C-alpha cells in the first residue's frame, strides 16, 4: 500500500484552524490554502531524486546537488485544486501543470468529468495531484484513473482534509499512490460533506456562495 502522511506540523495545524473557521473570508481563505499547500509540498517532495553537479563558488570548485531530470507535474482537480497551485509552484516553479475538470453530482456525490489536459511529456514526470478535499474519494480515484492512462513515472495525491471514507477508497483503488493530507477528519455527513471539514472548498476559494 502507498504511504499515508498526515503533515501535522504546528504551522500547518495553526493555518488549518483559520481555514476551517466559518468567519474566514475568501481573500484570507485563498492565502491560507496556498500557504498550507506550500508547506505540504516541502514534505511531498522529500524523496525527489538528486544528481551531483560541479559548480564554482566565489571560493573554490564544489561538488553539489540539483534535482535530476524532468521531475514534476502538478495536476489540480478543478475547481478547488486550483487554489493549491500557486503555493506549490512557489516551491517548484519549473514544474509543468495539467488540469482535470470534475464536479460532484449533487444527487449522487459521484464525480462528473468534464476536462483533461496534461503535459505532453507526462510519462517522464512524477505527478502530484492537488485537491484540498478527499471526501468519498470518488474524484481523486477517477482523476488518478485518467492520469494513469498516460503512464507517468509515479503519482502522489496531496489534499488538505481527508475523511476516513475517502482515504480508504483512494488507498484501496490506488495502493501505489502516496497520500499527503494535513488532517484526517471524523466522517462524512448525509450529503457526503466532511465533518467537521471546512465546508465547500471551491465555493470558499472562489466566493461562489
Rg, C-alpha atoms of the chain: 18
38: cell is 506550500
Rounded-to-integer distance, Cα 95 and Cα 73, Å: 5
Rounded-to-integer distance, Cα 142 and Cα 113, Å: 8
86: cell is 500557486
Question: Which of the listed partners (ligand PRP, ligand URA, none) does 138 bind, with a CB threshold of 5 to 8 Å by partner kind?
Answer: ligand PRP
- Map 124-144 to HEC letters: HCEEEEECCEECCCHHHHHHH
Q: Which among 17, 64, 108, 208 is annotated as catalytic?
A: 108
Q: Which among 104, 125, 142, 185 is annotated as catalytic?
A: 104
Instruction: Give the nearest distance from C-beta 74 to ligand PRP in angstroms.
Output: 15
- 81, 130 contact by CB (below 8 A): yes
- The answer to whether the peptide bond before residue 52 is cis (omega within 30 degrees of 0) is no
Instruction: Give the nearest distance from C-beta 32 to ligand URA in angstroms.
Output: 15
130: cell is 492537488
Asked about 108 being catalytic, the answer comes back as yes
State the distance between the two ends of the chain, measured CA to CA, in whole angstroms.
38
Q: Is 201 annotated as a binding residue?
A: yes
Please identify, using beta-carbon distances, which residue of 43 and 203 lies nearer to ligand URA: 203
Looking at 134, 144, 155, 161, which residue binds ligand PRP (CB under 6 A)?
Answer: 134
- The answer to whether the peptide bond before residue 137 is cis (omega within 30 degrees of 0) is no
Q: Which among 5, 24, 30, 200 is annotated as catalytic?
A: 200
By CB under 6 A, residue 197 contacts ligand PRP? no
By CB under 6 A, residue 192 contacts ligand PRP? yes
Site for ligand PRP in 71-130 (CB under 6 A): 77-80, 103-104, 109, 111
Q: Is 135 annotated as a binding residue?
A: yes
Site for ligand PRP in 157-186 (CB under 6 A): 166
Cα-to-chain-centroid distance, residue 197: 16
Asked about 204 being catalytic, the answer comes back as no
The dihedral sign for the CA sequence 31, 33, 34, 40: positive
Question: Which of the listed partners (ligand URA, ligand PRP, none) does 134 bind, with a CB threshold of 5 to 8 Å by partner kind?
Answer: ligand PRP
Binding site for ligand PRP (CB under 6 A): 77-80, 103-104, 109, 111, 131, 133-140, 166, 192, 200-202
Positions marked catalytic: 104, 108, 200, 203
| Binding annotation for uracil | 194, 199-201
Amino acid at each position: 500500500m502507498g504511504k499515508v502522511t498526515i503533515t501535522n506540523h504546528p504551522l500547518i495545524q495553526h493555518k488549518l484552524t483559520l481555514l476551517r473557521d466559518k468567519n474566514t473570508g475568501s481573500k484570507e481563505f485563498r492565502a491560507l490554502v496556498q500557504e498550507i499547500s506550500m508547506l505540504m509540498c516541502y514534505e511531498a517532495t522529500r524523496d525527489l531524486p538528486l544528481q551531483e553537479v560541479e559548480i564554482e563558488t566565489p571560493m573554490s570548485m564544489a561538488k553539489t546537488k540539483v534535482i535530476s531530470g524532468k521531475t514534476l507535474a502538478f495536476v489540480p482537480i478543478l475547481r478547488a485544486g486550483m487554489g493549491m497551485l500557486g503555493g506549490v509552484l512557489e516551491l517548484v516553479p519549473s514544474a509543468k501543470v495539467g488540469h482535470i475538470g470534475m464536479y460532484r453530482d449533487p444527487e449522487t456525490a459521484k464525480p462528473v468529468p468534464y476536462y483533461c489536459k496534461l503535459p505532453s511529456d507526462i510519462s517522464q514526470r512524477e505527478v502530484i495531484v492537488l485537491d484540498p478535499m478527499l471526501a468519498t474519494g470518488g474524484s481523486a480515484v477517477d482523476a488518478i484513473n485518467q492520469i494513469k492512462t498516460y503512464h507517468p513515472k509515479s503519482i502522489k495525491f496531496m489534499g488538505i482534509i481527508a475523511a476516513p471514507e475517502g482515504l480508504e477508497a483512494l488507498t484501496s483503488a490506488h495502493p501505489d499512490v502516496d497520500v499527503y493530507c494535513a488532517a484526517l477528519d471524523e466522517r462524512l455527513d448525509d450529503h457526503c460533506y466532511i465533518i467537521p471539514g471546512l465546508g465547500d472548498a471551491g465555493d470558499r476559494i472562489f466566493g461562489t456562495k
